[in-house]
Amino acid sequence: MKLFKHLLFFTALSLLSFNPLFADGKIEEVLSNISVSPQTQTCLGCHIKHTPGIARDWLSSRHAKTRPAEAMKKPALEKRMSAESPPKELQEHVVGCYECHGLNAESHKDNFEHMGRRINIVVTPRDCGTCHPDEVGQFTGSKKSYAYKNLMENPVYFALTGTITGIKKVDNNILTIQKPTEATLHETCLGCHGTQVEANGLKTVATKLGSIEVPNLTNWPNQGVGRINPDGSRGACTACHPRHGFLIEVARKPYTCSQCHLEPDVPAWNVYKESKHGNIYSSKGNTWDFSSVPWKVGEDFKAPTCSTCHNSLVVSPDNEVIAERSHNFGARLWVRLFGLIYSHPQPISGDTTVIKNKDGLPLPVTFSGDVASDYLVDRPEQEKRLNAMSSVCSGCHSSTWIKGHFSKLESTIRETDDMTLAATKLLSAAWDKGIEDKANPFDESIEQMWIRQWLFYSNSIRYSSAMTGAPDYTSFKNGWWYLTENLLHMKDWIEFKGEIKDKD
Amino acid sequence: MKLFKHLLFFTALSLLSFNPLFADGKIEEVLSNISVSPQTQTCLGCHIKHTPGIARDWLSSRHAKTRPAEAMKKPALEKRMSAESPPKELQEHVVGCYECHGLNAESHKDNFEHMGRRINIVVTPRDCGTCHPDEVGQFTGSKKSYAYKNLMENPVYFALTGTITGIKKVDNNILTIQKPTEATLHETCLGCHGTQVEANGLKTVATKLGSIEVPNLTNWPNQGVGRINPDGSRGACTACHPRHGFLIEVARKPYTCSQCHLEPDVPAWNVYKESKHGNIYSSKGNTWDFSSVPWKVGEDFKAPTCSTCHNSLVVSPDNEVIAERSHNFGARLWVRLFGLIYSHPQPISGDTTVIKNKDGLPLPVTFSGDVASDYLVDRPEQEKRLNAMSSVCSGCHSSTWIKGHFSKLESTIRETDDMTLAATKLLSAAWDKGIEDKANPFDESIEQMWIRQWLFYSNSIRYSSAMTGAPDYTSFKNGWWYLTENLLHMKDWIEFKGEIKDKD
Amino acid sequence: MKLFKHLLFFTALSLLSFNPLFADGKIEEVLSNISVSPQTQTCLGCHIKHTPGIARDWLSSRHAKTRPAEAMKKPALEKRMSAESPPKELQEHVVGCYECHGLNAESHKDNFEHMGRRINIVVTPRDCGTCHPDEVGQFTGSKKSYAYKNLMENPVYFALTGTITGIKKVDNNILTIQKPTEATLHETCLGCHGTQVEANGLKTVATKLGSIEVPNLTNWPNQGVGRINPDGSRGACTACHPRHGFLIEVARKPYTCSQCHLEPDVPAWNVYKESKHGNIYSSKGNTWDFSSVPWKVGEDFKAPTCSTCHNSLVVSPDNEVIAERSHNFGARLWVRLFGLIYSHPQPISGDTTVIKNKDGLPLPVTFSGDVASDYLVDRPEQEKRLNAMSSVCSGCHSSTWIKGHFSKLESTIRETDDMTLAATKLLSAAWDKGIEDKANPFDESIEQMWIRQWLFYSNSIRYSSAMTGAPDYTSFKNGWWYLTENLLHMKDWIEFKGEIKDKD
């Protein structure tokens, strides 16, 4: 085994000079025109052949063409790298395999010896922060970076999660719910929220080149945005900047966001696609420039995508800043449309497990609608954020237009909350009569109708309202039609169940 | 305030000569190579800076490059402007801000003094008709232009609208329905159908340049296709030709239509996307020419989009006319697939509130299926329209193929109407037994299942049949699976509710 | 009539020399630079004018530019034509109308005399096999080619089909189901599975050029993948290679597959679109090369589409074969995710009507989960196929990654099968109590909930798991939320129906 590894290592090195692969234009160009570090040359020696897809993807990336030493010198608005002075040893080579997978080895429990080098399997936000500290700093305080914790360590949310994803058994007509398995959590909720990736020693795996020893990782692979990493950090930049091109173009296009923000619970993508903005994007987006920094409204693009409104650095064609870049995706949000169970001001901390409402539950609102204001941003902060968002709108729209739009949203938030309250009242009465059991408020039929009211329908309408111009989503598709029909069904179902119960 | 305005006005004018903005290539080119009117120069002076998105969008438009005097001279088939001789004062400048926002000031209740000029906020079809009279004429007679009236002034449809979008309250377990608010109607039904935009005096709004006075408009912003405008006209050309590029390319791409014509009630887009035509468009559409006039089948495009079949001027590569342009989108339609509550011949008038069926209701068909023939096109007119549509098909398909396709559609219309009738019979029996109350035929559970049968499922199957090749939409996705399941559910639910009622 | 035909024929021939159509660049180029057979020149003489869409589509195709004589000489990896030596008379002309529509006339019951030539309306896989025998051979043994038979001649599946698509009548509150019509089967199930196209003599049809006689075909037009053709063959290559461009690019893009493989029953497209692979494709696919053969991972494309994983010839940039081409789309599949009613190993034969399970039903699994192993591939064959698929993954991913992914899928298959079993137990109890009648296991409310459990929800989760990275589809959208809710609804509904029954 040891011999085999050394053999490979030297083969890899030798490949650089006479492997016919490197005779093709692209590879040679890379090696002659750009400054690839010796470590990364070793990596490429094998991986250009054995995982050509990602190696070539990297070759097409900005990382493969840029030395931090140059990137540092860009004018402020054009900077893509926020580190004032990244470590000296990284400055003079392009950002290749080893520059990322070799960072901070000491804190990486997934570090292992691979072909003579110490390599981390998982590259984490802490690693990316070496060159992009501002972005990682913003992200680290945000709800996104707490996506795992906020779900798994909030007993109320976890009760919902477990109720949905746990296997049900039927024996003698009795239905019981088991604890969800790690595998199923991994590919349901934690597919977006991120898994807990831990390194449990080494294991031997068979590869095309023979068997090798690699860290034994739990819940891997996963790119969820709040992933718990083997270096103790939270998050996965690759959730939005997929490997190994890491293109800003991809992160700015709405498909990236659509992986997690979609119907029925968070229908941001579905609504956007049907909105006027989305229609214009679909029709003309292929002629826009999704790579330029800063991003010029009217010149680089004619209608916003998700990132325009939520986090990109947007400027006018004469470089006047319309919106600052932020990787805290809540930075321009004043209200949380995502009802839990009612809409409410955005939480102050990205860690929402700290919230306690008047009923003592870790929820931003009580079941009857009381808001846990101490944990939520106050009115002045809300105004500030609304202004930040309005500034983006003002790139194209007049003040009247913008105010008209947001006052409609305000009315919609109020009305959808009322429609949730109506459902809560029906459910409460059913609980009071013993028709269903409040102990777990999520595991019976009427309770699940109630969940639909806020998690699917009220949410959908609010998202549609916020991205005006998707009337079908407010009217029919998971909108008012369903809000109404669902209430009527709840009412009837409570009567049917009540009838059965009375007879018992 | 007055001083402020004058100041702005002069600043705006002066910007034209020395604002560094105008030093960039694009803007200078516009001003030197094209003939922008002095009025529009004033507008651009501020708006190129303060709403750069729309100003630049306009800059990329055909309007910004075209003087009506030239457009008039195009050969008939290539004309994009139908006016034989537009007003002299508009002929020699490109079509800029003031050319549209300054028209017909006297009839515009939304006209106001803005920086020294009289400006209309809302540009209406009547305004667009100055240069595009044929298109506006066709549109004005169509169902689309009556979209507001047909919904809001038809008591039956409005009962449905109000039932769905009105807030529900629950008190002591009693559910009551309130009148829908203007805000909610605005962003549900009227998002597509159009709002009633009225000017109620002036109001003061804060802008980046200080506060200004602007008309106080109701239900604004809105681009619904049947919008009631402050000049008394109906419609919004911007529903399909979004501002300020107004590109024919955008109107011809299916995303534009998809904003309103989508599932579950009008699933034209969903079905198209899944059809063979839609698949070819998605795969190869990026290589087609969506801007050429006339539009050449086989040369400019290889598979139809919505506009090909419904309203574009389509010719063969040797300029033989296959289909005439029409902005009455029903011009090539003989049957109305959209069941109310059954499929029926297209209405004669775009204003469908004039219809009265045998039960005295303003519906094209009675609940039991009797057609209000007096208000609907007759057989010869239907044949004429079917031929017009078949002509489009014949650009690619043989006569046998076309006939085979449409005879299948005919069978499907009949069968889906039968499936609606089956549901109507179940509901009628429930009404007769007092299980639900016919007074409002839309506000109880079984009634809503009945609505699903025609508004969601029968419609979906008919749309799929018309755009052959989307078998999933006929089979499962809102198709026969649901038609069948829904009937079974209705039957059971009637029994459950009957059981409760018997006990009372 | 006879005169008319001759007239047309000679006109057609003469068109070639002086028709102004042929004066346009494209056509002339075709005729001068490429070798069009005299027969095809006759076809084009009329069809370039009368069905310009398909004629021009063909003109843009590879067929219109390639003589089999050249295609034969390509290096093995670059070959698009598998015939070693196609018939001499086809070798020297490009592949035009007559080369395909004139083949094997003797076995084509849809052959007819058209403008002086014998023409087949339907081009079949047997015809395509003249030049592409390997592809047709692979296809002919596959489940796809048996798609008609497997559905229509399996009494269990046909019971489901008929239950769903048959018209329901309601008389005296009794609901009865009629046999589905051919027209409805044609545009529902058989839209994808293929119709039975038979020639019943000739019929006269009116065309733009006067009436002509053509074969009277049943269930036409149709491009379903398992179509029964008038020459006795099975299948339609045009299902994925639409006419008349037949572009490999179209077949490789996911929209083509999406026509049939979509939610709720086979949500391959919906899941792909939401997966990371799909997101990258949507963002960057327009810059990839979908036409090159062989298809180079990392160079031609950066993320897979359906065809990458399932059937394309995929190589590394240095032409190392990663996966062999196959038109048996099950060739890289070891497990059948599509539950009938449970997941199971892939069937050995493409003809699944031969299967008999322990209950004597033609299903791969019994209702209680016993697998009909004799008809399904064994463990070694499964391993072989899993390795073939893993090889595709290894173009970008490490061994650990791939194993982690597939072991998650294995767990998901087990759990979703358990969730189906739970539903089956509830239904069995209801059958035992006479609440519903097992005679037709598909035609009552609770039975249809049970169908949803395996056909919609378990399938969706398994497809999502297989294409990791679409967490919304596993969690909410037709995923675990529905699996759970549906069980709870079944349980309540059984109690409601039981209550009614007890009273009777």
For chain A, domain boundaries: 1-101, 131-241, 247-333, 398-504
- Counting Cβ atoms within 10 Å, is residue A411 exposed (0-12), middle (13-18) or buried (19+)? middle
C334: CB partners within 8 A, 6+ apart = C345, C346, C377, C381, C382, C383, C384, C385, C386, C389
Residue A259 is predicted with a pLDDT of: 95
Residue B370 is predicted with a pLDDT of: 97
C-alpha pair distances (Å), A209 with each of A9, A47, A50, B483, C393: 12, 12, 9, 56, 16
Out of A167, A171, A259, whose CB is closest to C418? A167
Residue A30 is predicted with a pLDDT of: 61
Residues of chain A with Cβ-Cβ distance to B163 below 8 Å are 484
Does A475 contact B56 at a Cβ distance shorter than 8 Å? no
Rounded to two decimals, what is the model's pTM? 0.95
| Test the A interface: residue of B188, B338, B451 with most A CBs within 10 Å | B188
Cα–Cα dist A427/A493, whole Å: 11
B409 CA: distance to closest CA in chain A (Å): 26
Average pLDDT over every residue of B142-164: 97
B443 CA: distance to closest CA in chain A (Å): 8
Out of A299, A470, A488, whose CB is closest to B445? A488
Cα–Cα dist C431/C425, whole Å: 10
User: Does position A353 have pLDDT exceeding 80, yes or no?
Assistant: yes
Residues of chain C with Cβ-Cβ distance to A162 below 8 Å are none
The vertex-C91 CA angle with C86 and C94, nearest 5°, equals 120
Cα–Cα dist B492/B89, whole Å: 70
CB C250 within 8 A of CB C256: yes
User: Does position B19 have pLDDT exceeding 80, yes or no?
Assistant: no
C25: confidence class by pLDDT, cuts 50, 70, 90: low
CB C455 within 8 A of CB C486: no
Share of chain C above pLDDT 90, in %: 90
Number of Cβ atoms within 10 Å of the Cβ of A118: 14
Does C164 contact B480 at a Cβ distance shorter than 8 Å? yes
Q: Nearest residue on chain A to B183, judged by CA atoms?
A: A408
| Test the B interface: residue of A408, A411, A458 with most B CBs within 10 Å | A408
CB B193 within 8 A of CB B148: yes
Q: pLDDT tens for residues C157-175?
A: 999 999 999 999 999 989 9
Residue C10 is predicted with a pLDDT of: 39
Out of C401, C481, C491, whose CB is closest to A175? C491
Q: pLDDT tens for residues B21-55?
A: 443 455 666 666 679 999 999 999 999 999 999 99
Average pLDDT over every residue of C203-226: 93
Q: Is the dihedral of CA C451, C452, C455, C461 positive or negative?
A: negative
Number of Cβ atoms within 10 Å of the Cβ of B213: 15
Q: Match 């239904």 to its residue by tokens.
A: C427
User: Does position B3 have pLDDT exceeding 50, yes or no?
Assistant: no
Which residue, B434, B262, B410, B240, is CA-closest to B337?
Answer: B410
Average pLDDT over every residue of C199-205: 94
Out of B57, B167, B223, whose CB is closest to A418? B167
Average pLDDT over every residue of B84-97: 96
Out of B317, B479, B484, whose CB is closest to C52? B317
**Mean pLDDT rounded to a whole number for chain B:** 93
C503 CA: distance to closest CA in chain A (Å): 12
Does B21 contact A471 at a Cβ distance shorter than 8 Å? no
Per DSSP, helices labelled H in B146-253 are 147-152, 155-165, 182-187, 189-193, 248-252
A31: confidence class by pLDDT, cuts 50, 70, 90: low
CB C320 within 8 A of CB C392: no
B382: confidence class by pLDDT, cuts 50, 70, 90: very high
Characterize the bridge pairing of strands A314-315 and A321-323.
antiparallel
Subunits adjacent to chain C (3 or more Cβ pairs under 8 Å): A, B
Cα–Cα dist C172/B429, whole Å: 9
- Counting Cβ atoms within 10 Å, is residue B503 exposed (0-12), middle (13-18) or buried (19+)? exposed
C333 CA: distance to closest CA in chain A (Å): 21
Subunits adjacent to chain B (3 or more Cβ pairs under 8 Å): A, C
ipTM over 0.85: yes
Q: pLDDT tens for residues B454-503?
A: 999 999 999 999 998 788 899 999 999 999 999 999 999 999 999 999 87
Does B184 contact A489 at a Cβ distance shorter than 8 Å? no
- Counting Cβ atoms within 10 Å, is residue C487 exposed (0-12), middle (13-18) or buried (19+)? buried
Q: Nearest residue on chain B to C266, judged by CA atoms?
A: B472
